[in-house]
A and B are shown apart, each in its own frame.
Chain A
Amino acid sequence: MGDFKMVPEEVRKELNRLYREGVITRKQLMKRMKNGLFDHERLAVKEKFEKLIEKYDIK
């Protein structure tokens, strides 16, 4: 099932605040908010794709 855990409410509030104040980027907010949630399939496919691309040595 992959490694994920719901981010606690207080941490989510803090992340929202940090994002509003521009301390963290949207990418960082997304990663920390998701914390692997709903993301395991995407990451598995991404890993497969990156292995495939490595075979063709395309940067």
Chain B
Amino acid sequence: MSTDDLLKIAETFDKNTGWFLDFLGYFVAIGLVATFLVHFYRYATGQSDWLGRSTNDTSQLTQIQLDSLRKEKEEIERKMIQLESEIQDLVTLLKEKEADLEEKTQEVIEMVHEIETIKSLYEELDEKYDDETYAMSQVMYTADEVASAIANEENFRQNRADIYINLLDYLINTIKGFREKNPRVVIHIKHPKKDDVLVHYAHSSGHSHRVKDYEPPIDNSAAGRAWRTNEVYYVPDVEDPQYEYDRKAHSNKYYRTILCVPLKAGADPSTRIGVLSITGKPVDAYEKIEIERVMLFARLLYPLIYMDTKIREVSTYG
């Protein structure tokens, strides 16, 4: 179809339907104006942009994103609260564990101290045990030599002084601190002729020859007191006037302590044959255990002295 044909159709249509075109023209014009007004109104109220695109879609999209972000934020905040709570729990647990650890550490320290104390106590006990077993060995040797002396009378008579020095050395060996205490032992027995004094019988090493000359009075001497009472008499300080001691006879003292043990069998006073005395250089030189050991040796020596003085009636002068 050519342009001319189209123009012919339009002329025909114009001749036959003139009112319709006018109507169509007005209709289109009104439609365009209405469309423009609507578009302008939407643009002015922000419902669309200048190209006519709806702004509702964007805000709707942003809202969804905001909602999503808000939810994420809330979720994160909830997790943070949960994490903070967990951290708090962990901190509390850590503190509890630290307290437990501190307590256990303290317990371990205390246990170590206790073990050290036990070790120290054991060492002290072992030292005493060692000393006791050593004292036992000295008792055994003393008993052995007392038995030998009784069994071999001739040898005993010939070597009595040496034998007693040796026997009394065993007693002195059981005393702790030999160098400091300088223990010396002397045995006195009942005087054969005088009733008011005792007489020398034997002594340990360390004495001068004058020890044989001293005769302790029955009254007012430590040995005399032990003899009279038949009981152990311990003088921790010979310079203390409350104790019975022969001060006049000992002006140049080399000792401050004296222990006197009666030589007896049991509690019967009639069995009493003498007094064993041991001196010590310092004041209160002897411990209880040492006093007990002196008592033990006094009993160990009793049979030999008894045999020598009572049964065989040998000289009482050593």
Interface flags, A35-50, vs B, CB<8A=1, else 0? 1011100100110010
- Complex Cα spacing A30 to B176, Å: 11
Whether the Cβ atoms of B115 and A58 lie closer than 8 Å is: yes
Whether the Cβ atoms of A16 and B122 lie closer than 8 Å is: no
Chain B residues, CB < 8 A from A45: 126
Decide yes or no whether B116 CB sits under 8 A from chain A.
Answer: yes
**Contact residues of B: prevailing secondary structure:** helix
- Complex Cα spacing A16 to B115, Å: 38
A-B contact pairs, 20 of them (CB 8 A): A7-B141, A12-B166, A13-B166, A16-B169, A16-B170, A16-B173, A19-B173, A19-B178, A20-B205, A30-B130, A33-B134, A34-B134, A34-B137, A37-B136, A37-B137, A38-B134, A38-B136, A42-B130, A42-B133, A58-B112
| A19 CB to nearest chain B CB (Å) | 7
| B47 CB to nearest chain A CB (Å) | 88
Decide yes or no whether B179 CB sits under 8 A from chain A.
Answer: yes
Chain B residues, CB < 8 A from A22: 179
Q: Given A16-B166, A19-B173, A58-B119, are A30 and B140 also a contact pair (CB < 8 Å)?
A: no
Whether the Cβ atoms of A46 and B136 lie closer than 8 Å is: no
- Complex Cα spacing A7 to B134, Å: 13
- Complex Cα spacing A38 to B138, Å: 11
Decide yes or no whether B129 CB sits under 8 A from chain A.
Answer: yes
Decide yes or no whether B145 CB sits under 8 A from chain A.
Answer: yes
B residues bordering A, Cβ < 8 Å? 112, 115-116, 119, 122, 126, 129-131, 133-134, 136-138, 140-141, 144-145, 148, 166, 169-170, 173, 176, 178-179, 205-206
Whether the Cβ atoms of B116 and A58 lie closer than 8 Å is: yes
- Complex Cα spacing A45 to B144, Å: 28
- Of the candidates B115, B138, B140, B206, which one forms a contact with A56 in the assembled complex, judged by CB atoms under 8 Å apart? B115
Q: Interface residues of A, CB < 8 Å — how many?
A: 25
Decide yes or no whether A1 CB sits under 8 A from chain B.
Answer: no
| B162 CB to nearest chain A CB (Å) | 9
Chain A residues, CB < 8 A from B205: 20
- Of the candidates B129, B140, B178, which one forms a contact with A26 in the assembled complex, judged by CB atoms under 8 Å apart? B178
- Complex Cα spacing A34 to B140, Å: 10
| B164 CB to nearest chain A CB (Å) | 13
| A25 CB to nearest chain B CB (Å) | 10
- Complex Cα spacing A29 to B116, Å: 29
Whether the Cβ atoms of A42 and B137 lie closer than 8 Å is: no
Q: Given A6-B140, A13-B166, A16-B169, are A34 and B126 also a contact pair (CB < 8 Å)?
A: no
- Of the candidates B133, B169, B179, which one forms a contact with A34 in the assembled complex, judged by CB atoms under 8 Å apart? B133
- Complex Cα spacing A33 to B205, Å: 19
Beyond the given pairs A34-B134, A38-B136, A38-B140, 4 more chain A to chain B contacts, judged by CB atoms under 8 angstroms and listed by A's residue number, are: A13-B166, A30-B130, A30-B131, A38-B133
| B24 CB to nearest chain A CB (Å) | 115
- Complex Cα spacing A35 to B140, Å: 13
- Complex Cα spacing A37 to B134, Å: 8
Chain A residues, CB < 8 A from B178: 19, 26
- Complex Cα spacing A38 to B178, Å: 22
- Complex Cα spacing A58 to B116, Å: 8
Whether the Cβ atoms of B173 and A33 lie closer than 8 Å is: yes
Chain B residues, CB < 8 A from A56: 112, 115
- Of the candidates B130, B141, B176, B179, which one forms a contact with A12 in the assembled complex, judged by CB atoms under 8 Å apart? B141
- Complex Cα spacing A35 to B138, Å: 12
8 nearest A-B residue pairs (beta carbon): A38-B133, A30-B134, A38-B136, A16-B169, A34-B137, A37-B137, A42-B129, A39-B133
